[in-house]
Chain A
Amino acid sequence: MTDTSLSPQIRILPGGDQRLLAGIGVIDPTSLDSYRKAGGYAGLARAIEKLGPEGTIDEIAEAGLRGRGGGGYPTADKWRAARSAAGESKVVVANLIGADPTALGDRALAEGNPHLLLEGVLIAAFATGASDAVIAVRRDWTVAIERLRAAVAQAEAAHLAGYLIKGTDFSCVVRVSEGAAALVAGEETALLAALEGDRGMPVIRPPYPTERGLGGAPTTVQNGETLAHAAWIATHGSKKFRAIGSKDAPGTKLVSVYGRVAQPGLVEVALGTRLSEIVAFAGGGTGTTKAAFVGGPGGGAIADLDTAYDFGPLHDAGAGIGLGQFLVADTDTCMVDSARFFLDYSAREACGKAVPCRIGTKRLVETLDRILAASPRPNDLLLLRELSRKMTDTALCHLEARAPGPMLTTLDRFPDEYRAHAERGECLAGACRTTPVPPLISPLAHL
């Protein structure tokens, strides 16, 4: 009897629009037969036998699938670029680095339904003409690594992966590789550098990986969840995929809800769902919900919970979809301290390559520390904005460009909390241990 349960960290919340999560708990993740019985590998068969590579890309384009790794780049465009790129051998890399460990979507998929991911990888390889595929998994997700390796071996034995798949001349050798456990390791160029044995640091784009990636070959780097969606589209068709979700971004997204909620966990929602509904899926807030930090360290705080959870509206609100991180803050959460937390995280995880990032994040944390200690310099609030703008302008990777996000959005939406901390040493949320600043007594007061 093999163990088929997920790691205890992953709790799948009931409700939402379960598509990718539907199979988890139903399908035995260690058995190929169980997955095939549930209609698995029908998408791969349809792609190979009916659609052909171009047809598969067209199908994905019609479905309007956008990358779920945060960027929201149309998947079909990326695949088309990789397909038309010059190169004898091409590679598909599945990004399961889980850059932010609080994002549980990819981990749940890899542990609960590894064959779905593998099917997505194979479909991407077929569409882009790749003969090699690497599934890069965060190294401490040992269960996921073990199950993915087993899944690849089973699929190879059943001629669903490896050489001459399904008796055609399409071959794709899939390897499962451990990746570093770091925020920056999830950045696509850093991931490729790490796979080549280098320190995982981003490099300047262009050239994009679709032109020159792993070992110089055109490489399609795709987030695990995106690949699972691609497999779903190949199985069920683009029309069904568009049935839920918003017009610009159909389909669903795995959201990890945590923070001040009754039931932290993972939920799959249609894009365009209101933020307040997502909070409700997690059993509602434990206090009066004040804001939601959407998108983790590269996202931002949104106070208006009627905002739609979608690429466009979140971007306009200064946040981002990220890897699906969703932190709920209530009235007992100090927004200045929260912003400091995220910036500190970015500073600690900075790879050190780009100077504006390595030093800029540190300076921002120091400036926030001064504000929290109620001893700011006269134009510290201006300095925060100025420095953030420069970091965004000179960014080497998106992690750096978006790192000031949580601070900028809280500064815009909760300026009172910043001012109270800076001027009076008072925490409006009552969360920070502060020493109130004594009122300034003029040395001439006794005259």
Chain B
Amino acid sequence: MTIPGLGILKGLRQTARNYWSPKVTNQYPESRPTMPDRWRGRLDLIYDPFGEHKCEVCFQCAQVCPVEAIDMSGFDSTGKRIRYGLPEIYDERKDPNAYRRAGLPAAPMRNAARWDEEVDTSWLHGVIDGFGGRPEALVAIFSAVEERYGYLPERALREVSERMSIHWAQIFGAAGLGGFRLLPADGHLVTVCTCAACSFAGGGALLEALCADLGIQPGETTADGSVSLAVADDVAAGALSPALRIDTMVYGPLSVEKARHVVAQRRKAPARSKAAAGTAS
């Protein structure tokens, strides 16, 4: 049986209790309330002074949410629109950065040509076993793979993951942070050093000249496939600055003319075929 108005009376009883109870003012900075350890304060300042959203769609909150209740949409730091939903549905979520932001094992490199290339990995077992399967040898194993193919093919990394019983995400994460090439480069790989020593000794002019000469930007290959241009800061030129590396040889110190000459010379020599290295025994 329900009595009309009983609910509201119950509610008002609480109101009345609060109304007559003694009032307390907390002297805030002097006496502070005890908060849970992981309390990080209230979120505030959604917009910056220019009216732009402060949220970077970084997915950090989604990543730590224990019940996976957070999803978001918006524009990321590159101005790319990110939508609600699953990575499988929306293209922009297949972007490497989107995967990395969401803390997912980044498979997006598959979109790139040759990333998923078939390679012969039978030799890898010997190398891995030679290191005793110790996880600290990962970087050494990656180095061996890179030396053989010129980059880290996904098939080889999968093989490492399987053979060493390490999660694929962990393998890919480790490979992404060691300065390894994840994509193949055609022809001779010309790497211009961008370390502080080289940059301040005129490395920028070197890069500009080579870009203009070859007609490509770093990360691209010339139309005839003879030279790929890249930048790295680990040519470690030191006393050789400004320097560049062609395949594995370091040249320096170079003036712009000398750099042009060296690249032109090496361009004539036949490049090691990456595909051949991959399929040989």
Contact = CB atoms under 8 A, between A and B. Distances in A.
B135 interface: yes
Given A101-B234, A139-B143, A139-B178, A198 B170 contact: yes
Given A134-B136, A259-B200, A355-B58, A178 B143 contact: yes
A102 B196 contact: yes
Given A8-B240, A177-B136, A256-B238, A182 B179 contact: yes
Contacts of B234: 101, 140, 181
B237 interface: yes
Interface in B104-156: 135-140, 143
A200 B143 contact: no
A181 B233 CA distance: 10
A359 B56 contact: yes
A359 B77 contact: yes
B210 interface: no
B199 to A, nearest CB: 6
Nearest to B235: A101
A254 interface: no
B237 A9 contact: yes
Contacts of A388: none
A232 B240 CA distance: 30
A333 B201 CA distance: 11
Contacts of B173: 198-199
Contacts of B86: none
B83 to A, nearest CB: 20
Interface size class of B (residues with CB under 8 A): 35 or more
B100 interface: yes
How big is the A interface, by class?
Answer: 35 or more
Contact of B200 (A140, A333, A362): A333
Contacts of B196: 100, 102, 258-259, 293, 296-297, 325, 327, 341-342, 345
Nearest to B253: A264
Contacts of A24: none
A190 B166 CA distance: 18
Contacts of A184: 177
A403 B246 CA distance: 31
B233 A345 contact: yes
Given A180-B178, A256-B238, A196 B136 contact: yes
Interface string A82-115: 0000000000000000101110100100000000
Nearest to B197: A258
Interface in B197-255: 197, 199-201, 233-241, 250
Nearest to A184: B177
Nearest to B170: A198
B50 A377 contact: yes
A178 B241 CA distance: 25
Contact of B238 (A10, A140, A179): A10
B9 to A, nearest CB: 50
Contacts of B170: 197-199
Contact of A327 (B178, B179, B200, B233): B200
Would you list the 3 A-B pairs with minimal beta carbon distance, nearest first?
A197-B135, A199-B173, A180-B178
6 contacts: A9-B237, A178-B143, A199-B173, A264-B241, A265-B238, A355-B58
Interface of B: 49-50, 56, 58, 60, 77, 100, 135-140, 143, 164, 166, 170, 173-174, 176-179, 195-197, 199-201, 233-241, 250
Interface of A: 8-11, 98, 100-102, 104, 107, 134, 139-140, 175, 177-182, 184-185, 194-201, 256, 258-260, 264-266, 293, 296-297, 325, 327, 329, 333, 338, 341-342, 345, 348, 351-352, 355, 358-359, 362-363, 377, 379
